[in-house]
Copies of this chain bind each other. A is one copy, B any other.
């Protein structure tokens, strides 16, 4: 007898496996490109194959797994080319999100975001080289702006599909970019545009911000 918590949407077994596997894939605990054996995984999680397949199909929807008929699921492989493709999509989608955020974010949301940026700024000043915190701060910043757009489709595409891939690249490609200082300054300019309700400028700044990261990767790729 499973006394389900009636308040929150009851978590099914497939849900928990989906969430756990997602994290393991993102963090590289399950290697990129590796084939997922359904019998093996279902034994590992002590669930049936049906339940596992439910979880796997959802991971495919996140773009973390690929499936071939009669062959099975594989973890996606990472490549610089794919990373650059993601940057192009983020540039366009987050640019639009930023434009809409300038229209739709509440005064309180904007204030909270400014506060968040200050906190991270101090962290960065005090304990130099804490790349981890800086990364999480960056993720949080972009996340909040997308949420602030108020466009549910945009939110779904970015937060539920693309961002897990983005985090996967961060974990496994180790993007400790040397753009920390610049990124902070760019974030501040973006918030300013949002606060001024200048959607057009906000979009341009966000696109430049992401485009700069992309060019950074392209430059590093060419020097190798």
Q: Does A86 contact B (CB under 8 A)?
A: yes
Tell me the complex Cα distance, A50–B21, Å. Answer: 22
Binds B, one of A8-16, A125-133, A215-223: A8-16
Chain B residues with CB below 8 A from A88, complex form: 96, 100, 151, 153-154
Binds B, one of A25-33, A53-61, A174-182: A53-61
Q: Within A32-84, which residues are at the interface with B (CB < 8 Å)?
A: 50, 53-54, 57-58, 60-61, 63, 68-70, 82
Is B85 a contact of A152 with CB atoms below 8 Å? yes
Q: Within A86-113, which residues are at the interface with B (CB < 8 Å)?
A: 86, 88-89, 91-93, 95-96, 100
Which of B10, B61, B93 interacts with A92 by CB under 8 Å? B93
Q: Does A119 contact B (CB under 8 A)?
A: no
Q: Does A139 contact B (CB under 8 A)?
A: no
* 7 A-B pairs with least C-beta separation: A92-B96, A61-B61, A92-B92, A57-B57, A85-B153, A85-B151, A89-B153
Is B12 a contact of A70 with CB atoms below 8 Å? yes
Tell me the complex Cα distance, A54–B91, Å. Answer: 33
Is A91 a contact of B96 with CB atoms below 8 Å? yes
- Residue on B nearest A94 in the bound complex, by CB: B92
Question: How many chain copies?
Answer: 2
Q: Does A116 contact B (CB under 8 A)?
A: no
Number of interface residues of A (CB under 8 A): 33
- A residues near B (Cβ < 8 Å) are 9-12, 15, 50, 53-54, 57-58, 60-61, 63, 68-70, 82, 85-86, 88-89, 91-93, 95-96, 100, 151-154, 156-157
Chain B residues with CB below 8 A from A69, complex form: 9-12, 15
Tell me the complex Cα distance, A86–B63, Å. Answer: 20
**Most chain-B CB neighbours within 10 Å: which of A11, A69, A70, A91?**
A69
Which of B10, B53, B156 interacts with A54 by CB under 8 Å? B53
Query: Known pairs A63-B156, A88-B96, A89-B157. 20 more at Cβ < 8 A?
Result: A10-B70, A15-B69, A54-B57, A57-B57, A57-B61, A61-B61, A82-B153, A85-B151, A85-B152, A85-B153, A85-B154, A86-B153, A88-B100, A89-B96, A89-B151, A89-B154, A92-B92, A92-B93, A93-B93, A157-B157
